[in-house]
Structure 1
Amino acid sequence: MSDNSPNLRPHPDFFSHQVDESDYFFLDLKPDPEADFALACGGLEYCNLKYEINRDRFEYYGMEYIVSGACCLKLAGRKYELKAGSIFCYEPHQHHEIRNTGDVPLVKFFVDFSGREVPEIIGAPFFESTVPYQMSNLRDMHALFLLMHETGKQGGRGCQRIIRQTLELIALQARFRAVDLQDASSGSFVTYEKATSHIAQHYLEINSVTQMADACHVSPGHLSRVFKLFCDESPWQMLTRLKLNRAGELLLKGEHMIKEVAGTVGFEDPYHFSRVFKKYYGVSPTRFCESMRSSSPSGGRA
């Protein structure tokens, strides 16, 4: 079947009827068994409160991502309680059950695919451990699934290749930025999510780890240990990264002096700001401004 097959087809019989609203696409429902990779279908489902699916003869690999709501998943003989940000995979003919839980409708992306190279494309952590994962970067993961969804809807040349590479990127995100479900339900992860959200919203006003810790009602030492569990940077490193990124944006506009930018992002000493900026980016603020302006087509501020 060609890469640009139309989306206008009857729904396959393996789709649930307990869905209030859906947006599906279909590409290759009868793929060549010798194909390296073939995307069959995918979609975004707004499930009703009675949503439940029970399959053991499903012929494709599947990947699903919870956008909102909660569900109970039974996979590989184990039961998991999933929430927004959970992601999981199942193999062809692997028994799995998904049931909406709670009072909020379940919303989820899914893609179904086949091919000899799927285990290599997806690989760890999904098919080696057969357990769901909780993503700590929900916005990025949602964007990747939305990209796959829109690509599948458009079809056309390169569709299969784009989706294959997006799946590889999702697998990498899960490998390096996911936490297991037990950790995701812990108080430490709740603190981590609260802290990262607070830092992202208030980084311009925050100037110490103590301020971050106070906002989360924990000690600075505890906050640092929590960050070590779930990411590869300390609270202070995250704060500094956000401040310097904003500083770069302001410098690029060319509307403020370096001293003013330093003060805006929380550095009282512009010389200290310059040292930190150069340590992170390899160039001084002055050199950064010069190089950015000289690289614009007019030779001035872009």
Structure 2
Amino acid sequence: MLFQEKIESLLEALVSQGVSFHFPGSRPAGALFGLDQAYYPAESHSEHVEMIHLTNGQVAIQVNGAWFPLTVGQPQVFLMNTFHSEHFLDSERTYELFWLSLNPFMINLHTTGYSPDRGYGQSSLRRSLHPPRMEALWKCLKKPVLDRPRFMALLLECLDNCLKNPHAGSVDYHIAAVELVRRYLEDYYSRQIHLADLADMCHYSIGHLSAIFRKTVGVPVYEYLCRIRLTHAARLLRSGKHRIKDVATATGFTDQLYFSRRFSKQYGMAPSRYAERFGRKTKN
């Protein structure tokens, strides 16, 4: 199984060393002076949580603008909206970080690292894990105050399950990334969704994600999202319980005129006409 040894090593580290949590506004102990040429500009994520485990060498990690050395294998968790980046500690020494990206539906795995001859890079090999307890783990992460013991218990259970069932739910990573985006859009269509956030969840560039999504699904990401929103809008209109402008807002449309135009194109009639024909009396 791809990354099996790294998952086993991570499990051992979680049990023996625990985990260090970083959250918005936190400042790590033992901060270093500023470093230049980080592998990537500090980034934060509002739709997924990331964990790293140092598997080789030493590295400097930036958290919310402060750098600190990571020289042992204690796993680090970057909770949502926590800025982070990485940098070598010694330009003559290699390092490798094992990454877990936790989102509502799965855990995505990849590695980043540095070597003197190749510079910075990330693995082309990726893996997606689909443990049965993923939903419970995500709900734990979404709570306003993280229950750390429960998070640890659920994470250990998820990783252990993946080792015991290495082929369960195993799919090509490209397919898994597209499925992640589809499920996210179907569940969170009412939110304001940005392509950059979807790409971050998959650890793809916006262009690459857009290309594989369109190739797999047949339409661009935003067109797929619009169709989902229109389907739910039609359902609400059929109920006859909502004003048209409220239906537009509830399904993620910020422009009522655009909503009406797209709805008419999809269903062959204006939202008001659709509600009159297929639903009970609708408030105007």
**Same structural fold, with TM-score higher than 0.5 when normalized by the shorter chain:** no
Which of the pair has more CA radius of gyration? 1
TM-score (norm 1): 0.36
TM-score by structure 2 length? 0.38
